Amino acid sequence: MLRWNPASKRSQREIIDGDELDDARSASIGDENEEGFEEEEEEVQPETGPPLLTPISEDAELSPTLSAWSTRLTSRRVLQYALAVVSSNIWPGAYTIGSGRFFENIYIGWAQKFLADSFSPIPLQPAESEFPSGPEVTEVEDPTPEEEAAWRAAQAEAESRANGKSEEEDEDGDEEDEEAEEGEED
């Protein structure tokens, strides 16, 4: 039988095209005739890793005062029906609940390990108002036609007073300008 060795850096096609094919055929014919020949097979050693179950006393501690696991009972009043609860301090949300030889594991969490410096997101800013409130945007009742006519009359009177004062100032300013011009000519 022809076997390709990936360590030989030769492709299967090169081996088949070359003389090694004839050598392999003659070797296979000779192997059938010889009863004592056995192929040498490499023994595959299984990979070994950490054991699946280890005592919780071997787990690393978070700090000298805090172990990796916390234990408690579900009820101290009726011990006959109480269950033992073991919770992980490294993975918050990992619990084991057991009674006698029976136990169940459950994890309810965000897949985040315990962080000594807990993260707190920045609080959101207060919602902004849409526009400032004031008398210019506050709704009021529409004036009646009589109130509107009175308001227009008051505005016209205020404008006429303002125009009257500005005319008086202009007349006073003209007299001063004429006196200043006469002084310059002298």
- 32-51 pLDDT, tens digit each: 545 555 666 778 888 888 78
Query: Mean pLDDT for the chain?
Result: 76
**Cα Rg of the chain (Å, integer):** 51
Considering only residues 122 and 11, tell me which one the structure prediction assigns the higher pLDDT: 122
Which of 29-33, 144-148, 154-158 has the least mean pLDDT? 29-33
Query: What does the block give as tokens for 137?
Result: 């945007």
Residue of 18, 19, 25 lying closest to 2 (CA atoms): 25
Q: Does residue 15 contact residue 2 with C-beta atoms inside 8 Å?
A: yes
Q: Is the pLDDT of residue 185 over 70?
A: no
Q: Is the pLDDT of residue 96 over 50?
A: yes
Report the C-alpha gap between 16 and 23 in whole angstroms: 10
Q: Is the pLDDT of residue 136 over 60?
A: yes
Considering only residues 182 and 72, tell me which one the structure prediction assigns the higher pLDDT: 72
In this prediction, residue 1 carries a pLDDT of 45
